[in-house]
Chain A
Amino acid sequence: MKKVIMGNHAVSYGVKASEAKVISAYPITPQTHVVELLSEMCANGEIDAEFIKVESEHSAMAACVGASAAGSRAFTATSSQGLLLMHEMLHWAVGARLPIVLANINRAVGPPWSIWTDQNDSLSQRDVGWLQIYVESNQETQDTIPQAFKIAEELQMPVMIVMDAFFLSHTYEIVDLFDKEQVRKFLPPYEPEIKIDVNDPHSFGNLAGPDMYMELRYMIQEAMEKSIDVIKRVDREFEEIFGRKYGLVEAYRCEDAETILVTSGTVASTTRAVIDEMRDEGIKIGALKIRVFRPFPFEEVFEVLSKTEKVAVIDRNISFGGHGIFFQEIKSALYGRTDVPITGYIAGLGGRDITPEVIREIADKALTDKKPERYINWIGVKR
């Protein structure tokens, strides 16, 4: 069934179709609609789930940790300060190997207060061990939720779906809503081998000395490395049933491109429009969207970018004292294997619009840059 819905509700419908059994969340703009709709669905029996209305995001994640350890599929959604408050429990979910799914609406971090988008909230959780998938449309948002549960449960690793505040969360688009039976074929019920169960008692997460801790970390990294194949396979299985697929990265008109713009989130769609325009002018340019950020798709990125002559990375984030975060990752994907020059551009922080003109400005700069190995170029800063 097709329906015009907002991005936030695309999350809710994805969760409904995935038959999450425990939902726990705390309101924060611009995420609030996600849980409002879910609590309504729980209240009117549309979803058979327990909704734990907690007093903070820290507790929202802790409740998911408990529920998931008890063997139930658990979901939460948050944004910005909320995600940061969860930080400790994000680590806990990973270490305890719990396949929780979280939707984070990218919102800038205060101070100063801002409810608008940028990626520093989710990217500052880069190293906790959650898989991170950046989506760009309402359809992709809905579709990624059951994919995320499937990936998470196979790997026993938590997955974060990340979307831009307002540009995606509040934008209405046509979405082909899931049919529950079809999703059931794709996503079997969660049935972990080891869970909290009085008939098969275990102690979860007790002390591990120096003789064991490292092995447990190694296993997490192993799961991350394996996840590349799992994500690809799950995407294929999804395509077989629903006819849509998303990939780890998405290359747009890159085959013969001499310059490639790397983007993520909603900036990717604006960039495609700019690429079309420039192609019409005869400029050989393409775009690469990074959809899966953790695990970082090193091979897929190398495959596309090693064939071009120049790479320009657009970052809606900044690692203070370092560079744009996507820029750093792209550099490390190419390091030692190709000498294609890479330039970093910081744009659109705190919800400043990344319009086609901004992308065109970046593309023109990248094309004419005589000395392209520049780590940071701020775009549109008033000084």
Chain B
Amino acid sequence: MKQASIPMEEYMGSGHLACQGCGATQAMRFALKALGPQTALVIPACCWAVIDGSFPHSCIQQPIFHTAFETAAVVASGIKAGLKMRGDTETTVMAWAGDGGTFDIGLQALSGAAERNDDIIYVCYDNEAYMNTGIQRSSSTPVGAWTTTTPVTSYKTRPKKNMIDIMAAHAIPYIATASTAYPHDFMRKVAKAKEIKGTKYIQIFAPCPTGWKLSPELSVKMARLAVTSKVYPIVEITENGQKLDVWKDFEPTSVRDYMKPQGRFRHLTDAELEGIEKEVEANWQRLLAKEKLLGSIPGLG
């Protein structure tokens, strides 16, 4: 991972309404540092609709348009077009949504924007459940996790939806994953996305201590262990979905070390954990194979 310096400027002030250790809040602070003041935001229903603060206050210095749950991407498209017609082609328009607003209800509008290749940055802060409504499963919730709608007696058995592949299938110019444990990397990606025309999709792993039954001080540690245990691979997809780079330059850690401190996985038996470990490794191998395959297509490498 290349290092980027973290700008001193703060665009997110005090007075936000997030819980302690909220990864989504850390992510926003870094994203805004990377984008600077000439940025307009769209936020659908999600924790961030609350975190921003209540009327007439806002903890963010850039303009924010709050919108309905399923519309982040297309409202961003509308704002971009509206600004353009007023002669402002420079402002970066960023849609900022949770995994529910991205993987589930907002998928159609996001797919539409991506298919048109509208010039927006879409950031999904992935905390792997509907947190704003009180921790219900989303299609991003991983296998084994407890949520209020996947209780321990019938925890989630279907795998997390592969949003990255879905976005890659749209042949947009830039897709990346990131983690709040690696802010330099995230900021580099956001800054890079800002320079690219078209639809950019960045998915940042953002722990939610409240929803994961996790001690807030472990938030950043979990964000790191998710990556080093290969549970949440860090990738970059460029060349309109044709080139995949997987970050491998880390000391591998165990999946159990990642899962243990989280109350949402507490009920899992040894055998179940083993099954999850196997699946994580299989996914990782598939990812590496895909990286190789794409890299070997002549003319696209």
Which A residues are within 8 Å of any B CB, using their own CB?
A: 21-22, 24, 48-50, 52-56, 58-59, 62-72, 74, 88-89, 92, 196-198, 201-209, 212
A62 and B111 in contact, given A67-B81, A196-B40, A196-B83 (Cβ under 8 angstroms): no
CA distance A209 to B55 in the complex (A): 8
Chain A residues, CB < 8 A from B64:
201-204, 206
Chain A residues, CB < 8 A from B116:
52-53
B39 CB, min distance to chain A CBs, angstroms: 7
* B121 contacts the other chain (CB 8 A): no
What 0/1 readout, one digit per residue, does chain B (110-131) give for beta carbons within 8 Å of chain A? Answer: 0110011010000000000000
When C-beta atoms are compared, the residue in chain A nearest to B39 turns out to be A198
Chain A residues, CB < 8 A from B221:
none
CA distance A74 to B79 in the complex (A): 11
A55 touches B112 (CB 8 A): yes
When C-beta atoms are compared, the residue in chain A nearest to B17 turns out to be A207
B residues 76-90 with Cβ under 8 Å of A?
Answer: 76-86, 88
B40, B60, B77, B118, most chain A CB atoms within 10 A: B77
A65 and B63 in contact, given A59-B108, A198-B37 (Cβ under 8 angstroms): no
* B75 contacts the other chain (CB 8 A): yes
B82 touches A208 (CB 8 A): no
A65, A70, A89, most chain B CB atoms within 10 A: A70
B75 touches A207 (CB 8 A): no
B49 touches A56 (CB 8 A): no
B5 CB, min distance to chain A CBs, angstroms: 23
* B246 contacts the other chain (CB 8 A): no
What 0/1 readout, one digit per residue, does chain B (16-49) give for beta carbons within 8 Å of chain A? Answer: 0000000000000000000001111010000001
B39 touches A65 (CB 8 A): no
A55 touches B111 (CB 8 A): yes
- Name the one of A24, A55, A56, A198 contacting B63, with C-beta atoms under 8 angstroms: A198
User: 26 A-B contacts, Cβ less than 8 Å apart?
Assistant: A49-B85, A50-B81, A53-B116, A54-B109, A55-B108, A55-B115, A59-B71, A59-B109, A62-B109, A63-B75, A66-B67, A66-B81, A67-B79, A69-B65, A70-B83, A72-B81, A72-B82, A72-B86, A203-B60, A203-B63, A203-B64, A203-B66, A205-B65, A206-B66, A207-B53, A212-B55
B77 touches A52 (CB 8 A): yes
CA distance A208 to B54 in the complex (A): 6
A206 touches B49 (CB 8 A): yes
Chain B residues, CB < 8 A from A208:
54-55
A206 and B78 in contact, given A59-B108, A62-B68, A198-B40 (Cβ under 8 angstroms): no
Chain A residues, CB < 8 A from B118:
52
A89 and B86 in contact, given A72-B81, A198-B63 (Cβ under 8 angstroms): no
B256 CB, min distance to chain A CBs, angstroms: 40
CA distance A53 to B74 in the complex (A): 10
* B70 contacts the other chain (CB 8 A): yes
A203 touches B58 (CB 8 A): yes
CA distance A313 to B77 in the complex (A): 44
* B62 contacts the other chain (CB 8 A): yes
CA distance A208 to B38 in the complex (A): 26
CA distance A89 to B72 in the complex (A): 12
When C-beta atoms are compared, the residue in chain B nearest to A73 turns out to be B85
A66 touches B79 (CB 8 A): yes
Chain A residues, CB < 8 A from B74:
52, 54, 59, 62-63, 66
CA distance A72 to B116 in the complex (A): 20
- Name the one of B61, B66, B71 contacting A204, with C-beta atoms under 8 angstroms: B66
B46 CB, min distance to chain A CBs, angstroms: 13
CA distance A65 to B42 in the complex (A): 11
- Name the one of B60, B70, B82, B108 contacting A71, with C-beta atoms under 8 angstroms: B82
* B52 contacts the other chain (CB 8 A): yes
B residues 144-169 with Cβ under 8 Å of A?
Answer: none
Chain B residues, CB < 8 A from A204:
63-66
A63 and B63 in contact, given A196-B40, A203-B52, A209-B54 (Cβ under 8 angstroms): no
- Name the one of B52, B54, B78 contacting A74, with C-beta atoms under 8 angstroms: B78
Known: A55-B115, A206-B52. 16 other contacts (CB 8 A): A52-B74, A54-B109, A59-B108, A66-B80, A66-B81, A69-B65, A72-B83, A72-B85, A92-B68, A202-B58, A203-B64, A204-B66, A205-B65, A205-B67, A206-B58, A212-B55
- Name the one of B39, B49, B65, B112 contacting A66, with C-beta atoms under 8 angstroms: B65
Chain B residues, CB < 8 A from A72:
81-83, 85-86
When C-beta atoms are compared, the residue in chain A nearest to B66 turns out to be A205
A66 touches B78 (CB 8 A): yes
Chain A residues, CB < 8 A from B86:
21, 70-72
A207 touches B68 (CB 8 A): no
- Name the one of B50, B52, B91 contacting A198, with C-beta atoms under 8 angstroms: B91
B66, B78, B115, most chain A CB atoms within 10 A: B78
When C-beta atoms are compared, the residue in chain B nearest to A208 turns out to be B55
B67 touches A92 (CB 8 A): yes
- Name the one of B63, B79, B82 contacting A201, with C-beta atoms under 8 angstroms: B63
CA distance A68 to B79 in the complex (A): 8
CA distance A89 to B65 in the complex (A): 14
The 8 closest A-B pairs by CB, nearest first: A66-B78, A70-B82, A203-B58, A55-B112, A67-B82, A63-B78, A72-B82, A207-B54
